[in-house]
Structure 1
Amino acid sequence: MSQVSPLPQSLHPDLPLTALAPMQDVTNLWFMKVIAHYGSPDYFFTEYFRVNDTSRLNRGILTAITENDTGRPVFAQMIGESIPDLVRTAKELCNYNIAGVDLNMGCPAPRIYRKNVGGGLLLSPEKVDRILGELRSAVNDRPLTVKMRVGFENTDNFYKILDIINRHSIDLLSLHGRTVKDMYHGAVKYDLIAEAVKRVHCPVLANGNIDSAATAVEVLSQTGAAGVMVGRWAIGNPWLFNQIRQALRFETITPVPLVEVRNYIDRLWQTPTAATMPVRSRVGYLKMFLNYIALSVDAEGHFLRLMRQTQTEVEMFNLCDRFLLTDLTKTLALAPSFNLFPNPIPS
């Protein structure tokens, strides 16, 4: 079955696709620009637009589409379960320069799935069938895409939902290989991603723990997916998309000196809203990123622990200097430590 609308051109048509996963409070316009500075993925996805009977398009999220100068396609993600309002919102989004409309069927945050949205939709294939049918009718000149997990608590509905994906000619499926209840813990079921690749008619992006270029190459080989979607590990290593491309071309991966990581932290600190943000809030915002950066900088966990204790800008940057600028020969680890997971970011 052919796609209803062709997917946007990738940066490197000879290579598998790469995408930055949508993450709430992270994948805003500023972070997309920062990532693009270090090496863009093929596709970006917005934070989700919340959809209900009183919702309007979030202006802040909308800037990731209307003011985006990265040169890369941006898919607009929605989260909700009210069919009339999802259709209304999808049509409104199609008035903007979006690459396509993406439906979130995987967010594992309990406050989200308890409202029967995000990952909660996986409990009701019949509802998914109705939603995708109506959205497909409404979105007929752009790609309609889905981001989901392999199930809610188990994988009982997995194949049923894949068949629904086919029935409504979805154009791209981003599949996280854990259940909603797994959150970000436990093994990623790449074998189920491979099953989805065989079963659905559209390209599949493999998602879940793509922590390094080596992992990306292994997952692509294991699943046969059309590409990979990377979330949290791109926060800790914004060079990752370039490194994945280097690995796929059998090139040596260029090491990243820790002094460059220090420059990246400075760039994150210079968020456009910095002037109006209280310093305490700004420090907290940067710590969200440092949670992930720390894993690749110091496998022992000292940086992570001490960073979380800092309270002021001076304390935080002095600590960064201590770990990142003391030895100028050190480089960013190519594969982060797995035993120091920070708090998850809703996606």
Structure 2
Amino acid sequence: MQDVTDLRFMRVIAHYGSPDYFFTEYFRVYANSGLHKNILRSITENTSGRPVFAQLIGESIPDLMRVAGELSRYPIAGIDLNLGCPAPRIYRKNVGGGLLRDPDKLNSMLGELRQAVNGRFTVKMRVGFDDTANFDRILDLINRHNIDLLSLHGRTVKEMYHSDVHYDLIAHAVQRVQCPVLANGNVTSAVAAAAVLSQTEAAGVMIGRAAIRNPWIFQQTRQHLSGQPVSNIMLPAVRDYIERLRCATAMPSIPERARVSHMKMYLNYIGQGVDATGAFLSDMRQARTEAELFGACDRHLLSEPDQPFAVEPYPGQAARPNRETAHVLEAC
């Protein structure tokens, strides 16, 4: 998730129970591109105790090979190639999900990178660009080039996040490819994770946006899958999570309005589990100052300490972009 899963957010998530491994934000790869210092910090300063895969996005094969080689000198779990980003400003450059339109280019790219990467080489993709005509052909390329892990989002690029997830296509991929498959798409709770695993027979799940809303989701999923009671989270604990986010991501050097907008990026997701009426989302979106924003958090999250945080997002409480923020969330 670009502009979200940086070192600071990873540290917050680790406090509540890390995933088995992390993927960095993507390193944008092009001619003469270097290693983005802030993204690199999520590798070099990782204290979560969990492995971190370095994610690349680009279309220049020589430059992808060059950057993969540079990253191999750092303590990474492997190199991950992004073939799934659905943001129009990304796929229009023929990178991310845009590459799913060109299996011949992918054949060359995967082959060259497989030769260049001595360790684990993984791929994250969707089931197609605007249809699934190339799906089986690309799955066969995953086999041909001995990819070590496939993370598969069960929608096409053009479907973004609006359609139902095609879990049947993820199940098809599980049967067709030789490597483990992680199922991705609408894994919103521990119960949802178990259902997706049962339906697809995938080796695991990849969780993105739901971890912004509920950082306890990894711990809860482990509990559910092992037959333990799933932890109930009360609203005051969510207020503590918001405060931890604020402290971890605060940048006093930037204007207050920008800080407020940055926090709203997180709160657009967190608010989906606070109340069924959407009152918290409405109040926080109207805030213009930090005092107004965190005052709204206190009113809605501390006034009813025995109120549980919703395990699944309340219907109709989808996150929407915040016009003020300069940050773009791309959950690929």
Normalising by structure 1, we get a TM-score of 0.92
Take 1:128 and 1:272, find their aligned partners in 2: how far apart are those partners? 37
In structure 2, the residue matched to 1:285 is: 262
In structure 2, the residue matched to 1:219 is: 196
SS of residue paired to 2:252: helix
Change in Cα spacing, 1:229 to 1:338, as seen in structure 2 (3 Å) is: farther
Per the TM alignment, residue 298 of structure 1 is displaced from its structure 2 partner at its CA by 1.5
Per the TM alignment, residue 89 of structure 1 is displaced from its structure 2 partner at its CA by 0.5
RMSD: 1.0
Normalising by structure 2, we get a TM-score of 0.96
In structure 1, the residue matched to 2:138 is: 161
Take 2:237 and 2:219, find their aligned partners in 1: how far apart are those partners? 15
**Are 1:195 and 2:169 counterparts?**
no
SS of residue paired to 1:261: helix
Quick one: which of 216, 238, 241 aligns to 2:218? 241
**Are 1:120 and 2:98 counterparts?**
yes
Moved more, 233-242 or 272-281: 272-281
Take 2:142 and 2:276, find their aligned partners in 1: how far apart are those partners? 41
| Structure 1 stretches of at least 4 aligned residues deviating more than 6 Å after TM superposition | none
In structure 1, the residue matched to 2:46 is: 68
SS of residue paired to 1:48: strand
**Mapped contact 2:12–2:248 kept (Cα < 8 A):** no
Quick one: which of 96, 103, 106 aligns to 2:81? 103
Per the TM alignment, residue 273 of structure 1 is displaced from its structure 2 partner at its CA by 5.0
Quick one: which of 210, 230, 238 aligns to 1:253? 230
Per the TM alignment, residue 299 of structure 1 is displaced from its structure 2 partner at its CA by 2.1
The amino acid across from 1:244 in the alignment is T
In structure 2, the residue matched to 1:326 is: 303
Take 1:165 and 1:97, find their aligned partners in 2: how far apart are those partners? 25
1:6-85 aligned within 5 A: 23-85=1-63
The amino acid across from 1:170 in the alignment is I
SS of residue paired to 1:270: helix
1:302-317 aligned within 5 A: 302-317=279-294
Take 1:343 and 1:110, find their aligned partners in 2: how far apart are those partners? 17
Take 1:28 and 1:193, find their aligned partners in 2: how far apart are those partners? 28
The amino acid across from 1:147 in the alignment is K
**Are 1:342 and 2:305 counterparts?**
no
Take 1:59 and 1:247, find their aligned partners in 2: how far apart are those partners? 38
**Are 1:208 and 2:176 counterparts?**
no
Take 2:315 and 2:22, find their aligned partners in 1: how far apart are those partners? 26
Take 2:63 and 2:108, find their aligned partners in 1: how far apart are those partners? 13
The amino acid across from 2:223 in the alignment is Q
Render the CA deviation track for 1:88-138: whole Å, top value 9, x for unaligned.
Answer: 010001010000000000000000000000000000011111000000000
Take 1:301 and 1:56, find their aligned partners in 2: how far apart are those partners? 43
Take 1:299 and 1:180, find their aligned partners in 2: how far apart are those partners? 30
SS of residue paired to 2:25: coil
Take 1:276 and 1:261, find their aligned partners in 2: how far apart are those partners? 27
The amino acid across from 1:184 in the alignment is Y
The amino acid across from 2:82 in the alignment is N
Per the TM alignment, residue 278 of structure 1 is displaced from its structure 2 partner at its CA by 2.0
Which ranges in structure 2 are unaligned for 5 or more consecutive residues?
322-328
SS of residue paired to 2:82: strand
Take 1:325 and 1:96, find their aligned partners in 2: how far apart are those partners? 43
Take 2:73 and 2:40, find their aligned partners in 1: how far apart are those partners? 12
The amino acid across from 2:47 in the alignment is D
SS of residue paired to 1:155: coil
Render the CA deviation track for 1:242-266: whole Å, top value 9, x for unaligned.
Answer: 0000110111111011111000000
SS of residue paired to 1:98: coil
SS of residue paired to 1:271: helix
Take 1:73 and 1:221, find their aligned partners in 2: how far apart are those partners? 26
SS of residue paired to 2:53: strand
Quick one: which of 154, 161, 168 aligns to 1:177? 154
Which ranges in structure 1 are unaligned for 5 or more consecutive residues?
1-22
The amino acid across from 1:319 in the alignment is A
**Mapped contact 2:28–2:58 kept (Cα < 8 A):** yes
Per the TM alignment, residue 287 of structure 1 is displaced from its structure 2 partner at its CA by 0.5
Render the CA deviation track for 1:13-46: whole Å, top value 9, x for unaligned.
Answer: xxxxxxxxxx011000010010000001001000
Per the TM alignment, residue 303 of structure 1 is displaced from its structure 2 partner at its CA by 1.1
The amino acid across from 1:227 in the alignment is G
Per the TM alignment, residue 272 of structure 1 is displaced from its structure 2 partner at its CA by 5.3
The amino acid across from 1:290 in the alignment is L
In structure 2, the residue matched to 1:267 is: 244
